[in-house]
Amino acid sequence: MRLARWISDGQVHQGMVHHECVEFRGKLLPIADLNLLPPIPPRQILGIALNFKDHAEELGLAEPPVPALFAKPLGSAIGAGHDIWYPRGATHCHYETEVAAIVGRTCSRVTPEEALSYLKGYTIANDFTCRDFITNMFRPPLKAKGFDTFCPLGPYLVTPDEIADPGQLTIRTWVNQELRQEGTTGDLMLSIAELIAYLSTFTTLEENDVILTGTPKGISPVVVGDVISCEVVGLGRLTNTVRMTEA
């Protein structure tokens, strides 16, 4: 099942996706006409950096000896079709297409074998990042990853029964229809199940917690006006346009 969430006339709605439409109150609404929200209201957004060996290598960084975790503020979350605001004065911002795992129920001290059974589903995340604000002194890079609009999520929530193997999902990023990034969750250093289990050893995960699972090699700078399409085969495409911050 695929579920979309949107806002209309000040009210939040959810409906089941059928091809390019959403079923709502007996009608099929074109998705292109909807003001999409993140497919769930995030309770918190947690992520892991450098979870692909080739991504660490492209940044000239060693594999972390323990998982390199970070968090993104809730204000960074936006839905498909909304603009990403490029900070004034910044010089190097880039996309990071990732599979986002959505927790479905209270999860504490679980094993990797149990972990996936605690998920509500999966969606796509763009862990947008501004490298101007990443230095060795300021880690984890909250500001670099935490600007408003820096975490597009969507377009849908895809339930686990539709994903045969979350360890074999192809990830691609397109900028202005040019393919810039491609990888597979098969190359994650910590699998999705292992990451959830690790997090649950020290913090209790709850419904609608969002877990960003890592991005493969292929990040590159974007500029104002670029259209970023984050694709995960089986989860759809998440598209957002980069705009200059108004103030």
The domain limits of the chain are 1-35, 40-244
Domain 1-35 indexed as CATH 2.30.30: yes
Q: Which residues of the chain have pLDDT under 50?
A: none
Note the pLDDT of residue 61.
73
Residue whose pair of structure tokens reads 């229809």 in the numeric block: 177
CB distance 184 to 176 below 8 Å: no
- β-partners of residue 154 are 124
pTM, two decimal places: 0.95
113's tokens: 């074998």
What pLDDT digit, counting tens, does each position of 100-121 carry? 999 999 999 999 999 999 999 9
CATH architecture designation of domain 40-244: Alpha-Beta Complex (3.90)
Note the pLDDT of residue 141.
81
Note the pLDDT of residue 16.
97
Note the pLDDT of residue 157.
98
* 3-class SS string, 41-58: CCCEEEEEECCEHHHHHH
From residue 148, how far is each of 18, 25, 44, 71, 130 by CA, in Å? 31, 33, 14, 13, 12
Note the pLDDT of residue 56.
76
- β-partners of residue 178 are 175
Note the pLDDT of residue 54.
77
Note the pLDDT of residue 24.
93
Please state, in angstroms and rounded to a whole number, the distance separating the CA atoms of residues 138 and 74: 20
Q: How many residues appear in the chain?
A: 247
What pLDDT digit, counting tens, does each position of 123-169 carry? 999 999 999 998 765 567 889 999 999 999 999 999 999 999 999 99
Note the pLDDT of residue 85.
98
Q: Can 1-35 and 40-244 be said to share one CATH topology?
A: no
Please state, in angstroms and rounded to a whole number, the distance separating the CA atoms of residues 200 and 192: 12
For the CA atoms of 205, 193, 237, 130, the dihedral, rounded to the nearest 10 degrees, stands at 70
Please state, in angstroms and rounded to a whole number, the distance separating the CA atoms of residues 243 and 224: 5
